[in-house]
Amino acid sequence: MAAYYDAAGWQNAQYLGDGEFTLEFGDYDVQITAPADHVVASTGELQNPGDVLTAAQRDRLKQARTADKPVMIITQAEAQANEKGRATGTRTWRFKAQNVRDFAFATSRKFIWDAQGIKSGKQDVMAMSYYPAEANPLWEKYSTPAVIHTIEQYNKYSFDYPYPVAISVNGPVGGMEYPMLSFNGRRPVKDAKTGEMTYSKAAKYGLISVIIHEVGHNYFPMIVNSDE
C-alpha cells in the first residue's frame, strides 16, 4: 500500500524492513490465531478478553486501570510455568485500532505482562509491558514506568496521547516503533560470580532512553505523520 504526499506524490519506494516507513491512516480490525499457550501484544484494544484470558487475568487488568503502580497480569512464575508445556490447540485474539498508520503485534509463551492505567486528557490509557524472565529484574522495574513518564512529558509539551494502549515489548531489536507498540532489545546479564541477573547503569538508562524514544514516536511521526 503506497502513501500519497501532496508535495511529492505517490511514495513507491519498497519497504525492506530495515528502516522507517509511511502509510495512510486507517482503522484495523484484526484477528490473530496463535498457539493456545501464547500471549499476544498488539496495536489496538483487545476485544475478546473472555476468550483468551483467565478470570484472574481479567480481574488483574481491571485492577490495573486504577492502580498507582504496575500490576502483574501474568507473573514471572506463571510465565515460566507456561513455558514448560506445549499447547496443541490455538486461540484467536481480536484487536481493534482506529486512525493509525500501521499495525504490529508480538506473541510468545514466555511473556510476563504488567500494566498500569493513566489518564491522557479525556482518554484512559493502559501502559503495558511484555517481556520474558530473561529481561528481569530490569524490565519489571523500569519499562512501564518509563512508558508512563514518556506520555506525561510528551502530553505536557505537545498534545494528549489519543490511543487506549501504549505498549513496550522486549524483542530481538535495538528499538523500533509502531502505533501503540514499540520494541526494545535491552536485557540484563548474568553476574559471573553470583549467577544472578544484574545490569549496569548504562543498561538501565539505555532501556529507559529507548522506551522514551520509541514511545515518543507515537507523537512524531505516527500521529503528526511527519515524513521520516
- In this predicted model, what pLDDT tens digit does every residue of 64-104 receive, in sequence order? 999 999 999 999 999 999 999 899 999 999 999 999 999 99
Whether 97 and 104 have beta carbons less than 8 Å apart is answered as no
H-run or E-run covering 73:
strand 71-74
Distances from the Cα of 113 to the Cα of 2, 191, 217, 219, angstroms: 35, 25, 22, 24
Q: Is residue 36 part of a domain?
A: yes
Q: Is residue 228 part of a domain?
A: no
**What count of Cα atoms within 13 Å lies in the side-chain half-sphere of residue 152?**
9
Q: How is residue 67 written as a grid cell?
A: 492502580
pLDDT at 22: 74
pLDDT at 11: 78
Q: Whole-angstrom distance between the N-terminal and C-terminal Cα of the chain?
A: 17
Q: Is residue 151 part of a domain?
A: yes
Q: Across the beta sheet with 90-100, what order do the strands follow? A: 26-35, 90-100, 45-46
Whether 35 and 87 have beta carbons less than 8 Å apart is answered as yes
Question: Could you tell me the CATH number of the domain that includes residue 73?
Answer: 3.30.2010.30
Confidence of residue 176 (pLDDT cuts 50, 70, 90): very high
Whole-angstrom distance, CA of residue 163 vs CA of residue 97: 8
Query: Between residues 166 and 195, which one has the greater pLDDT?
Result: 166
Q: Is residue 65 part of a domain?
A: yes
Structural domain containing residue 85: 23-218
- Cα radius of gyration (the chain): 18
Q: Is residue 2 part of a domain?
A: no
| Burial (0-12, 13-18, 19+ Cβ within 10 Å), 10 | exposed
Q: Tens digits of per-residue pLDDT, 17-50? A: 656 677 789 999 999 999 999 999 999 999 999 9
Query: Between residues 12 and 109, which one has the greater pLDDT?
Result: 109
Three-state DSSP class for residue 148? helix
pLDDT at 7: 78
The answer to whether the pTM exceeds 0.75 is: yes
**How many domains would you assign to the chain?**
1
pLDDT at 137: 96
Q: Is residue 5 part of a domain?
A: no
CA-nearest of 125, 119, 220, 120 to 160 is 120
Q: Is residue 157 part of a domain?
A: yes
Q: How far is CA 72 from the centre of its chain?
A: 15
- DSSP class of residue 40 equals E
Q: Is residue 77 part of a domain?
A: yes
Q: Cell 501504549 belongs to which residue?
A: 166
Confidence of residue 210 (pLDDT cuts 50, 70, 90): very high
